[in-house]
Structure 1
Amino acid sequence: MKSTYDIVVIGSGPGGYTAAIRAAQLGYQVAIIEKYATLGGTCTNVGCIPAKALLDSSEHYHQAQQQFSTHGIQVNGLSLDFTQFIKRKTQVVGQNTSGLNFLMKKNKIDVYQGVGSFINATSLRVKTADSETVLESTYYIIATGSKPSSIPGVVIDKQRIITSTEALSLSQLPKSLVIIGGGVIGVELASVYARLGTEVTIIEYTNSLIPTMDRELGKTLARSLAKLGINILVSSRVQSAVNQGDQALITYQDQAGVQQEIKSDYCMVAVGRSAYTKDLNLEAVGIETERNGKIKVNDHLQTAVPTIYAIGDVIAGPMLAHKAEDEGTFVAEVINGQKPHIKYGLIPGVVYTWPEVASVGRTEEELKQEGTTYRVGKFPYSASARARASMDTEGFVKVLSDPKYGEILGVHVIGPRAADVIAQAVVAMEYEVTDLEMGKISYAHPTYAEALKDAYLQASGQGAINI
């Protein structure tokens, strides 16, 4: 491998590997640095991908228990092989990391394993336990991602007080699990273990699950998760979590202000993530981080040093794999002299519970706070023929639009395949198609997407016409 490059990418998560591949496609000599043994970062190894594998497996098991008989399918002696349950997840991860290795070779991207730290604006040291390599590059892209955060009084020991990383690879099915945090990571893993029979409790500080999304989504999701037997404690503040050997003891203040205690096999901390920038030696190049470890960038995602860019979880904005991917492509094209764009307000958010939750644009709460006039079009999946056929009638589609021009301001979905359905709404908003126009195009029947059609029509002032 060479030691001099046009572009060096630090971190191989979705943002990093996308930036490297796009830069290589544009003709640059590229290297990528990853401190772990496999490429893919948090998302591929201990985040998005393994979580989705477990979510799908657990949903199949739950359906076999709860729904198959209604379909006329009789299952006798149903049981869960938890070892195989985890093994399949590991296999899925392996398939994805192998795919990334292939893409690096295909695009002639050199891969260095180790921790990257700046010597100066053009030189970077890559350290391993027993070796050191110095790389020279014209440009650098920082894509080092994030790590789980905690709260005062809760020390993560990875034994009884764990993060999502450990929760994805437990050796045995726990009888009980307390999750601190009712955001995306918390509710997804709560779903996984509740479906398998674990007694799950979610303790959330705010008054709603998934509090950054439209509040109506959070309320509906809470009702759905409660049907799985999940105990949901909102407006509650965790004070401590202690490893007691064979259990964790969690102390919290409930919504009435009364101190309570709960014991559990594990306590999973899911209160967010913080930017991982500490090993980069940014001081050597004059780049300062903010209190949360994030790096300030300009509209071109350049840091204080114009030849050093930063993307993904280490800069402002939602910590989403697809946001990082967009930024990776964006930076490679900016370096190439192109003029790409990212509309941050149109990056969708998704929660892979069942029903799934997906959202793009502004929420009702945001529009009210802004004083913006809007119309609401809402269609329930209970009125959808496709949803009835699949027994997936929980949830709704909600469209928020401008009453004067029909501009779509926000789309919020909780229901079957919401993660896929939301893509159509992103296209509509990106290209400024009106609510009426979206309601007038042809939709295949019967489909889950038809619920969008009817919500668009209602938002435009017309009534729903489909089932």
Structure 2
Amino acid sequence: MVVGDASLDIDTLVVGAGPGGYVAAIRAAQLGQSVLIVDKQYVGGVCLNVGCIPSKALISAAHQYESIGKAADFGIEVGEAKVDFGKVQEFKNGVVKKLTGGVSSLLKANKVEYFQGEVMFINENEARVFNDQEAPRYRFKNCIIATGSRPIELKAFPYGGRIVSSTGALALQEVPKSMVVIGGGYIGIELGQMFAKFGTKITVIEGSDTILPGFDKDMSNLVAKKLKSSQADIITGAQAQSAEQTDTAVTVTYKVGDKVETVTADYLLVTVGRRPNTDGELGLDLINMKVTDRGLVEVDEQCRTSIPHIYAIGDITAGPALAHKAMYEGRIAAEVIAGQSSVVDYKCVPAVCFSDPECASVGYSETEAKEKGHNVKMGKFPFAGNGRALSLNAAEGFVKLVSDADTGLVLGAQIVGVEASNMIAEIGLAIEMGATLEDLALTVHAHPTLGEIVLDAAEVALGHPIHTVAR
């Protein structure tokens, strides 16, 4: 590396090594670019290190623990299960280490140069990358900004001590006896339900009238029912107001209507959204980049910012803060830089919550399809009518297909139930390829599998169901 004011030339500078950034860097390198990727913390970003991957590892461990208690349902007798949460954390950390190591190897194999440090734009074509040891200056032809987001910290609930963010909750070294969760969105529900399975007494405080407000209400109701079976309290239409900590507990004051209530627990987990990382020393204001009042970078359909050779992807742009959205945009931006005519198309970006049961959706909901002017036809089939679901002792849930009654085109789907996160991909492909209900119904699905529920839902919509009575 060169230290001082001499500039090094690079084709593409990628700022941020999370899912969007590392995918963009690898794709740009594959397309012939010389690429430098910079991240101030770690390869893999929030998702691989302190977000979606470690949370799913802990959720999987919680499922395993819970399943032992249900072994008797299958006629299997086992002794009392015990949790060594330190070893659970070791398992989680092992998964993270394997994946981040894999990403580092992929960057190296694709000849992407990695620098651990921060970036500060000097002008539209130059940036200083720096850490405690060095501060080289780079001149770039193109740049992709993928700096991600961080948990929103409320003034009334500052992180520290007994008040934790999702990152802090994932790092706890013991299972709390009790926990209050402010925010009933997908992060709060995933983590709250995970701890509930390990035996934590959970209280969820949510401002809207239902948990998981972005999902179909029938879906969120099933998750709420399962949470309550774990002795969790769900308080909706509530506004958290303040918290008081001691060395061993935290007391939260909240308001429902005109009534003020309190609840005390070992920890308070605050999950009220995420804030884009576009502030700080990055210097977007110095290069006059257009940023909204919420800190989101304005981009076009090819991920270009107001500065044509600088691109922005992921959580710092409009839309859901999802790793797979960032990865998709990263590929698009790299291809546009290489001269390809790629553009973003968000109609098939799935949303998934790894709750119990899992929730997944893609495309239009029934309401959205009607708002778009479609003559809507629905098809719904329950997991309870599927042999594989019953053999898994997982009969909760349904597949709901949304289609256009005039053309038969599949417009969307909502799935709640075991393995919904995997099942939703078939519907995404159907929408992407312009498939119809008949295409789904004529596709031979292996028996017995959960995928057959999609076929059955298509047949319900077509009016000739085999595994239920036509209505």
- Give the TM-score normalised by structure 1: 0.96
Q: Is the 8 A contact 1:450 1:466 kept in 2?
A: no
Q: Is the 8 A contact 2:301 2:343 kept in 1?
A: no
Aligned to 1:317: 319
Amino acid at match of 2:174: Q
Aligned to 1:427: 429
Aligned to 1:32: 37
Aligned to 1:391: 393
> 1:15 aligned to 2:12?
no
Q: Which moved more, 1:285-294 or 1:170-179?
A: 285-294
Aligned to 2:451: 449
Deviations 1:170-225 (A, max 9, x none): 02211101111111101100111000000001111111111112222112221122
Q: Is the 8 A contact 1:116 1:124 kept in 2?
A: yes
Distance 1:341 1:370 in 2: 22
Cα distance, 1:342 vs structure 2: 2.9
Distance 2:139 2:424 in 1: 42
Distance 1:244 1:292 in 2: 34
> 1:69 aligned to 2:75?
no
Distance 1:432 1:460 in 2: 17
Aligned to 1:44: 48
Work out which of the residue numbers 135, 140, 150 in structure 2 matches 1:137.
140
Task: For 1:63-462, list aligned pairs within 5 A.
Answer: 63-65=67-69, 67-157=70-160, 159-254=161-256, 256-278=257-279, 279-367=281-369, 369=371, 372-462=374-464
Distance 2:407 2:134 in 1: 62
State the identity as a percent.
Answer: 38
Amino acid at match of 1:266: Y
Q: Which moved more, 1:148-157 or 1:159-168?
A: 148-157
Distance 2:265 2:371 in 1: 40
Q: Is the 8 A contact 1:294 1:315 kept in 2?
A: yes
Q: Is the 8 A contact 1:214 1:365 kept in 2?
A: no
Amino acid at match of 1:148: P
Distance 1:152 1:204 in 2: 18
Q: Which moved more, 1:159-168 or 1:217-226?
A: 217-226
Q: Is the 8 A contact 2:301 2:344 kept in 1?
A: no
Cα distance, 1:448 vs structure 2: 0.5
Work out which of the residue numbers 50, 57, 62 in structure 2 matches 1:58.
62
Distance 2:164 2:106 in 1: 33
Amino acid at match of 2:269: M
Distance 2:86 2:254 in 1: 33
Amino acid at match of 2:119: G
Q: Is the 8 A contact 1:161 1:242 kept in 2?
A: no
Amino acid at match of 1:436: E
Q: Which moved more, 1:432-441 or 1:123-132?
A: 123-132
Structure 2 spans left out of the alignment, 5+ residues? 3-7
Distance 2:391 2:21 in 1: 42
Cα distance, 1:152 vs structure 2: 4.9
Q: Which moved more, 1:457-466 or 1:265-274?
A: 457-466
Q: Is the 8 A contact 2:302 2:343 kept in 1?
A: no
Deviations 1:132-153 (A, max 9, x none): 2211211110000000013452
Q: Is the 8 A contact 1:401 1:407 kept in 2?
A: yes
Q: Is the 8 A contact 1:213 1:363 kept in 2?
A: no
Q: Which moved more, 1:223-232 or 1:5-14?
A: 223-232
Distance 1:126 1:20 in 2: 16
Amino acid at match of 1:22: R
Amino acid at match of 1:54: L
Cα distance, 1:271 vs structure 2: 0.7
Q: Is the 8 A contact 1:152 1:239 kept in 2?
A: no
Amino acid at match of 2:103: L
Distance 1:241 1:360 in 2: 38
Distance 2:35 2:460 in 1: 50
Distance 1:334 1:97 in 2: 27
Q: Which moved more, 1:126-135 or 1:46-55?
A: 126-135
Q: Is the 8 A contact 2:385 2:467 kept in 1?
A: no
Cα distance, 1:466 vs structure 2: 7.3
Structure 1 spans left out of the alignment, 5+ residues? none
Moved >3 Å (runs of 4+) = 367-373, 464-467
Q: Is the 8 A contact 1:154 1:242 kept in 2?
A: no
Amino acid at match of 2:135: E
Distance 1:135 1:45 in 2: 28
Q: How many residues align?
A: 463
Q: Which moved more, 1:136-145 or 1:292-301?
A: 292-301
SS at match of 2:192: helix
